[in-house]
Structure 1
Amino acid sequence: MKRKPDSSDLTQAQFKRLEPFLPAAKPGGRPRSVDLCEILCAIMDVLQGGIAWRNLPHNFSAWQTVYSYFRRFEADGS
Structure 2
Amino acid sequence: MKAEYKRTNYPSDLSDREWEKIKEFFPAGNKSKYDKRNLVEAVIYVVKTGCQWRALPHDYPPYSTVYNFYSRAKQKGTWEKIMQFLVKETRIKSDRTAEPHYALIDSQSVKTAYRSDKKGYDGGKKRKE
Same fold by TM-score, threshold 0.5 exceeded?
yes
1:56 aligns with 2:62: no
The whole-number CA distance in structure 1 between the counterparts of 2:45 and 2:24 is 21
Report the equivalent of 2:122.
none
After TM superposition, the score normalised by the length of structure 1 is: 0.83
Q: Tell me the TM-score normalised to structure 2 length.
A: 0.52
Q: What corresponds to 2:73 in structure 1?
A: 73
In structure 1, what is the equivalent of residue 19 of structure 2?
15
The Cα shift of 1:35 comes to 0.8
CA offsets 1:14-46 (integer angstroms, 9 cap, x no match): 1111011114423xxx4x311111111100110
Q: What is the letter of the counterpart of residue 61 of structure 1?
A: P
Name 2:95's counterpart in structure 1. Answer: none
Contact 2:19/2:37, CA 8 A, preserved across alignment = yes
% same residue = 30
> How much does 1:13 deviate?
1.2
Taking the aligned partners of 1:68 and 1:4, their CA distance within structure 2 comes to 20
Match of 2:93 in 1: none
Cα RMSD, aligned residues only:
1.5
Structure 1 position 4, deviation (Å): 3.8
Q: Which has the higher contact order (CA 8 A, sep 6+)?
A: 1
Alpha-carbon distance between aligned partners in 2 of 1:18 and 1:71, rounded to the nearest angstrom? 18
Aligned structure 1 segments of 4 or more residues deviating by more than 3 angstroms: none
**Residue ranges of structure 2 left out of the alignment (5+ in a row):** 1-5, 79-129
Is the helix fraction higher in 1 or 2? 1
Give the aligned residue type for 1:13.
Answer: R
Please state how far the C-alpha of 1:3 moved relative to its aligned partner.
Answer: 5.2
